[in-house]
A = this chain, B = another copy of it.
Amino acid sequence: MDTIKIGVAGLGRLGLIHAENISVMKGVELFAICNLDADFNREIAERLDVRYNYTEYEEMIKNPELDAVCIATPSGLHTKQIELALEKGLHVFCEKPIGLDTADIERTIEKIDSHKDMVFHLGFMRRYDPDYLYAKQLVDAGEIGDISIIRSYGIDPISGLEGFVKFAKKSPSGGIFLDMGVHDIDAIRWITGSEVSKVWANGSNKAAPELDEVNELELGTATMQLENGVTAFVVLGRTASHGYHVEAEIIGTKGMLRIAATPEKNKVTLFNEHGVVRPTSQNFPERFKEAYIGEMRDFLDCIRQNIQPEVTALDGLRGTQVAIACQESLEKDSVVEVTY
């Protein structure tokens, strides 16, 4: 097959990760980039040897040689950009969340469904992380029996707090449940194979009162009941002093398992004046390096084989619906039933 030509929209941290990963893969070309800052575009175009760079998404997708786009722009732009790309006959890889508003997403799903020949891929990278995949295999093989309880943590490092506050001032994140929690919700749905029926959420801002100004939370918690009787606990945070902490626990009828119970950076242990120390992952590019490569490879494989990925736009909608229910529960301080 011919080389697949991809344009990456958005050159924030995630956009750059995708651009860099694409640039070293065989059989694919980082053909275009699109970002508001023209100077930065030129710098990246030179460094990664990109033919075209744009400041307007609409301009990029007009390029007749383009085969696919990778959307890593602010969340509020996703649905529209997906639709525009599909209309141009482009395959789409879109970062999570698929959107901030369920009506928008539903309309976009219709559009996706009417373009069956185009691949649509959603960036729930945990599904491509070797640790999550290994755990999923154990669960599916019955190693721990039926699932009774699942717990999922996603806590960002405090080193990223300042940047987040700046970002949140410019572009609303949608709140901690939509911004961060969709990953945990998707992991819960993916591993249990069940839908969330009720949620009770809580939140606090003790460690980062500056988040009050931008109407964001430092910590969000949610307890969920699933349709199949599983209870799920979710903790989301923005101020981990030890690094980037993404963890999951699954309690089954025959055993338990944990994924990344401690967010170890690597296999090195230090014995020093602090005690016995395991250095930790400091950020998502480090922690999910292999997963970002894996999901992009899967996207390209789907294009080459003309199939759709396992993760669907509906997964994106469900994640958003549950996250919105969490946000509502937080605001009302009561249990909320998720409506689908």
Q: Which residues of A contact B (CB under 8 A)?
A: 24-26, 130-131, 134-135, 138, 143-146, 148-149, 151, 200, 202, 204, 206-207, 218-219, 221, 223, 225, 229, 231, 233, 235, 237, 239-243, 245, 251, 253-280, 334-335
**Of all chain B residues, which has the CB nearest A243?**
B275
What are the residues of chain B within 8 A of A200 when measuring CB–CB? 200, 223, 335
- Residues of the B chain whose Cβ atoms lie less than 8 Å from the Cβ of A225: 202
The verdict on A257 contacting B268 (CB below 8 Å), with A149-B219, A275-B277, A275-B278 known, is yes
The answer, among B149, B151, B266, B273, for a CB contact under 8 Å with A242, is B273
Contacts of A235 in B (CB 8 A): 149, 251
Residue in contact with A207 in the complex, picked from B25, B26, B148, CB distance below 8 Å? B148
**Known: A223-B200, A229-B204, A334-B335. Contact between A257 and B271, CB under 8 A?**
yes
Identify which of B253, B259, B268, B274 contacts A259 (C-beta below 8 A): B268
Give CA–CA (A142, B266) in the complex, Å.
Answer: 19
What number of copies of this chain does the assembly contain?
4
Docked Cα-Cα span, A278 to B274, in Å, equals 8
A207 cross-chain contacts in B, Cβ below 8 A: 145-146, 148, 253-254
- Report Cα–Cα, A211/B256, bound state, in Å: 20
> A145–B228 Cα gap in the complex (Å)?
38
Residues on the B chain within 8 Å of A245, using CB: 271
A251 contact set on B, CB distance < 8 A: 219, 235, 237
Q: Are B258 and A269 in contact (CB under 8 A)?
A: yes
A169 and B207 CA atoms in complex are apart in Å by 49
Contact of A279 among B148, B204, B275 (CB under 8 A): B275
Asked if B274 and A240 make an inter-chain contact with CB atoms under 8 angstroms apart, the answer reads: no
What B residues does A233 contact at CB under 8 A?
Answer: 151, 221, 223, 233
Is A264 a contact of B276 with CB atoms below 8 Å? yes
Which interface residue of A24, A233, A268 has the most chain B CB atoms within 10 A? Answer: A268
Contacts of A146 in B (CB 8 A): 206-207
Counting from the closest, the 3 A-B pairs by CB-CB distance are A207-B253, A255-B272, A256-B271
Find out whether the CB atom of A265 lies under 8 angstroms from the CB atom of B134. yes
